């Protein structure tokens, strides 16, 4: 992402360290800012921010409840417990396949 990119109408913060995921997200959301810690997400998020979180990077999904923004969390479809825990915080919790399908179609 270049410094000259046109800013999105709402800021987007992404917690993901997976290079393939980052590549797909960057292609669809070129103005997204990638971070490596939940502390940084909490620091950067505002009510207007879209926060995208890879649940595979969280030890405890309850941290999502502290983020004052719209949160979309994605994770493995076989880890139903983790998806349910994320949903319980108010996040929109999606299986990876559905998240990336929506990302590709622009329907997040």
CATH number of domain containing 84: 3.40.50.2300
| Number of domains, the chain | 1
Domain boundaries, position 29: 12-105
- Would 2 be classed as within a structural domain? no
Evaluate whether residue 5 is within a structural domain: no
pLDDT score, position 84: 96
List, as own/partner pairs, every contact residues 22-31 make where C-beta atoms lie below 8 angstroms and the sequence separation is at least 24, other chains included: 24/100, 24/103, 24/104, 25/52, 25/103, 26/1, 28/103, 28/104, 28/106, 29/103, 30/1, 30/5, 31/1, 31/5, 31/6, 31/7
In a domain, 32, yes or no: yes
Q: What is the pTM of this model?
A: 0.88
Q: Is residue 30 part of a domain?
A: yes
For residue 52, the model assigns a pLDDT of 97
Q: What is the pLDDT of residue 10?
A: 87
- Assigned domain for 4 exists: no
In order along its 108 residues, the chain shows pLDDT tens digits of 333 333 446 899 999 989 999 999 999 999 999 999 989 999 999 899 999 999 998 889 999 999 999 999 999 998 899 999 999 999 999 999 999 999 999 988
């Amino acid at each position: 992402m270049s410094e000259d990119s046109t800013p999105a109408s709402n800021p987007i913060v992404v917690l993901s360290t997976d290079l393939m995921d980052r590549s797909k997200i960057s292609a669809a959301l070129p103005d997204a800012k990638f971070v490596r810690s939940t502390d940084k997400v909490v620091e950067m998020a505002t009510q207007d921010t879209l926060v995208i979180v890879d649940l595979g990077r969280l030890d405890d999904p309850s941290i999502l409840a502290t983020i004052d923004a719209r949160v979309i969390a994605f994770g493995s479809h076989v880890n139903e417990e983790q998806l349910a825990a994320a949903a319980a915080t108010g996040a929109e919790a999606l299986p990876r396949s559905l998240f990336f399908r929506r990302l590709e179609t622009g329907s997040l």
